[in-house]
Amino acid sequence: MKIYSFYRNTVVIEDKKHNLYLQVNDTIVCGIMQDGGVKKFSDNYLPITILIIMEFLKGNGYPAFNVDEWKNTRLWKNNIKSL
């Protein structure tokens, strides 16, 4: 397992299968799976946490989105790189 500092109180954890997990304040909030899919752990994050998630995903080649799209879409359970 590798851990990378991403933002204040935020780290990215890479597991043995090269999946990336974003951890904010000791809570894993989302993951980028090796197949390109995004794992969404909750819809109920604070707006600042969603902004951190957006930057994490954008930095890894995913399209830009806003807070409402995060909360309202089900596409995050599938591969969103194809959008």
Helix (H) or strand (E) holding 58: helix 47-59
Blockwise average pLDDT, block size 10, the chain, 83 residues: 72 92 91 86 83 89 80 53 38
Q: Name the domain count of the chain.
A: 1
Q: What is the pTM of this model?
A: 0.77
Helix (H, G, I), strand (E, B) or coil at 28: strand
Q: What are phi and psi of 81, to 5 degrees?
A: -65, -20
Residue 83 lies in a domain: no
Residue 22 lies in a domain: yes
Residue 25 lies in a domain: yes
Domain, as residue range, for 56:
2-78
Residue 66: exposed, middle, or buried by beta-carbon count in 10 A (0-12, 13-18, 19+)?
exposed
Q: Report pLDDT for 4.
A: 67
Q: Tell me the C-alpha to C-alpha distance, in Å, between residue 64 and each of 35, 50, 51.
A: 19, 12, 11
